[in-house]
């Protein structure tokens, strides 16, 4: 059974850096073609893809957010970490981590709501 | 970035209806398209990938078709549990992009 779970702060202040951790099980990030990425969804709005890291450490970012995002992995811990700098209220959203297989998103975490407010 | 446009944005239907949702890509994406279903407060769920391949465990009343720029998701006989929001997503090139969603409501 494949599971992913997001963890991190639920409230951050403007200008702060957000750090989210995805802890997963049921698959290995050492397997060819497998990646773990992040997608967000502001309340009542559509999905927005953010970043992805592959088994071979290839990293992909949304161009509109690339300057603010960093994605890393710890294969031994089955974790992927996303950092987003200079948070703003418009970044308030549910953040999902998800298993990608050659860019198709097969399995999603439950999501974590992050609110940006002073 | 490739823009994905879904139509309609929302509509109402009745249990038992056959419904079709369309998704258009701003440039050709071959068959690198997936469809997801999302219910309120829940994560999206993969229904179809590679434009027409049904994900394991998804009921056969769901089907997908298309290639290039025009795609459709069809639900052959709506069930109560199908009322949700549906998203298309292209993975032909980065950044991965989603459509704006189609909200399917009970008539």
Q: Strand, helix or coil at B81?
A: helix
Does residue B107 have a pLDDT over 90?
no
* Residues A80/A36, Cβ–Cβ less than 8 Å: yes
Cα distance between residue A7 and residue A20, in whole Å: 6
Q: What are the C-alpha distances in Å from A33 to residues A28, A49, A53, A84?
A: 10, 18, 10, 25
What is the pLDDT, as a whole number, of residue B97?
Answer: 98
Q: What is the mean pLDDT of chain B?
A: 97
Q: What is the mean pLDDT of residues A76-83?
A: 97
pLDDT confidence band for B95 (50 / 70 / 90): very high
In this structure, the strands spanning A3-7 and A18-25 are antiparallel
Other beta carbons within 10 angstroms of residue B43's beta carbon come to 20
| Chain B residues within an 8 Å CB radius of A52 | 96
CB contact under 8 A, A105 and B34: yes
Q: What is the mean pLDDT of chain A?
A: 97
Paired with B97 in beta bridges are B90
Paired with B36 in beta bridges are B46, B87
Q: Which of residues 57-96 of A touch B (CB under 8 A)?
A: 60-64, 96
| Chain A residues within an 8 Å CB radius of B44 | 47, 96, 105, 108
**pLDDT, tens only, A26-77:** 999 999 999 999 999 999 999 999 999 999 999 999 999 999 999 999 999 9
**pLDDT, tens only, A95-108:** 999 999 988 999 99
| Chain B residues within an 8 Å CB radius of A104 | 34, 46, 49-50, 91
Residue of A52, A105, A112, A113 for testing the chain B interface, max B β-carbons within 10 Å = A105
């Amino acid at each position: 059974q494949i599971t992913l779970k997001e963890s991190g702060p639920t409230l951050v202040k403007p200008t702060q850096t957000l750090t989210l951790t995805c802890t997963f099980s049921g698959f290995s990030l050492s397997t060819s073609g497998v990646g773990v990425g992040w997608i967000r969804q502001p309340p009542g709005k559509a999905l927005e893809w953010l970043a992805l890291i592959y088994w071979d450490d290839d990293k992909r970012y949304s161009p509109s957010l690339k300057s603010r995002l960093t994605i890393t992995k710890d294969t031994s811990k089955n974790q992927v970490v996303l950092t987003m700098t200079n948070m703003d209220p418009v970044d308030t959203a549910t953040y999902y981590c998800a298993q990608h297989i050659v860019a198709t998103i097969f399995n999603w975490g439950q999501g974590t709501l992050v609110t940006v407010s002073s | 970035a490739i823009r994905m446009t879904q139509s309609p944005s929302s509509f109402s239907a009745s249990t038992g209806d056959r419904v079709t949702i369309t998704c258009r890509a701003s440039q050709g994406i071959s068959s690198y398209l997936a469809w997801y279903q999302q219910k309120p407060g829940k994560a999206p769920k993969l229904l179809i990938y590679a434009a027409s391949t049904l994900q394991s465990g998804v009921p056969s009343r769901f089907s997908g078709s298309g290639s290039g720029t025009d795609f459709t998701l069809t639900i052959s006989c709506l069930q109560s549990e199908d009322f949700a929001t549906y998203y298309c997503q292209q993975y032909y090139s980065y950044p991965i992009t989603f459509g704006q969603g189609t909200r399917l409501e009970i008539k």
